[in-house]
């Protein structure tokens, strides 16, 4: 794995990737896992509402769905139950078609690639195996790297630091409204992917600068999009 934190006399340009729902087709497994966790503690939360909150950190998701009058003493157990149920899906997880190719193409074009994930370290290891492009990934974050979860921008700030990047020289690729909102806090443009289950209209309304149906569509338009422009800027520095 490349080292993304080494110093350089020139400004690095890079791409931050959300992982769940962006590179790995896992949003609906997360939805089911949260639904089962809520049911265990007696909460009947519709699956559609849970899915629309996927992309938030676990603590924010619980507060968003259950409200301030919930028993907050159950929050940690809810999160742990979700994690335990989700881990049963690990062997079946698959990357979106073209995910590894996109990561490698970004690296081959001179961009520093950082996974901006808030998964646990163990779960991140599983996700990296699924993506199968470690040679092109310079750095990655996990839940231990940020105090506040999305839509707070902490994990993106940690990803920038891990990759030796400045916000002005980075692009974020994500699949949820919460991704776009977190990146906008740092003035990082976001490329939205609708394959996580959020519509193009919602992603654009949140502020995404480009939206694609899926990774393959992004790859097909690579030469005309923001990632190629960023790579060209990097080559010119």
- Give yes or no for a contact between 89 and 33, defined as CB atoms under 8 angstroms apart: yes
Per-residue pLDDT reduced to its tens digit, 29-81: 999 999 999 999 999 999 999 999 999 988 899 999 999 999 999 999 999 99
Q: Determine which of 8-17, 30-39, 76-85, 226-235 has the lowest per-residue pLDDT on average.
A: 8-17
**DSSP-H helix ranges across the chain:** 27-40, 47-53, 58-66, 75-87, 99-108, 121-131, 154-163, 177-185, 200-206, 215-220, 226-235
pLDDT digits (tens, 9 = 90+) for 99-114: 999 999 999 999 999 9
SS3 content of the chain, % helix, strand, coil (to 5): 55, 10, 35
49-73 burial code (b ≥16 CB/10 A, e <16): ebbbbbbbbbebbbbebbeeeeeee
Does the pTM surpass 0.85? The reply is yes
Structure tokens at 136: 């092109």
Task: Report whether pLDDT(170) > 90.
Answer: yes
- Residue whose C-alpha is closest to residue 167's, from 156, 155, 152: 156
Cis peptide before 148 (omega within 30 of 0): no
């Amino acid at each position: 794995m490349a080292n993304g934190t080494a110093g350089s006399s020139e400004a690095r340009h890079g791409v931050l990737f959300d992982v769940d729902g962006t590179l790995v087709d896992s949003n609906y497994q997360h939805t089911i896992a949260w639904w089962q966790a809520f049911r265990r503690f007696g909460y009947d939360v519709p699956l559609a509402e849970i899915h629309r909150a996927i992309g938030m950190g676990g603590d924010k998701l619980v507060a968003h769905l259950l409200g301030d009058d919930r028993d907050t003493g159950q929050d940690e157990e809810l999160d742990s139950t979700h994690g335990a149920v989700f881990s049963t899906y690990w062997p079946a997880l698959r990357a979106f078609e073209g995910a590894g190719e996109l990561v490698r193409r970004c690296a081959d074009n001179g961009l520093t690639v950082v996974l901006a994930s808030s998964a646990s370290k163990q779960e991140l290891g599983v996700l990296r195996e699924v993506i199968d492009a470690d040679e092109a990934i310079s750095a990655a974050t996990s839940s231990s790297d940020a105090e506040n979860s999305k839509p707070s921008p902490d994990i993106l700030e940690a990803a920038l630091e891990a990759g030796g990047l400045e916000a002005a020289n980075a692009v974020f690729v994500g699949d949820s409204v919460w991704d776009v909102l977190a990146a906008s806090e740092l003035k990082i443009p976001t490329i939205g992917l609708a394959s996580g289950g959020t519509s193009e209209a919602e992603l654009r309304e949140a502020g995404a600068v480009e939206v694609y149906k899926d990774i393959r569509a992004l790859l097909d338009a690579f030469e005309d999009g923001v990632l190629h422009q960023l790579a060209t800027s990097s080559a010119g520095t």
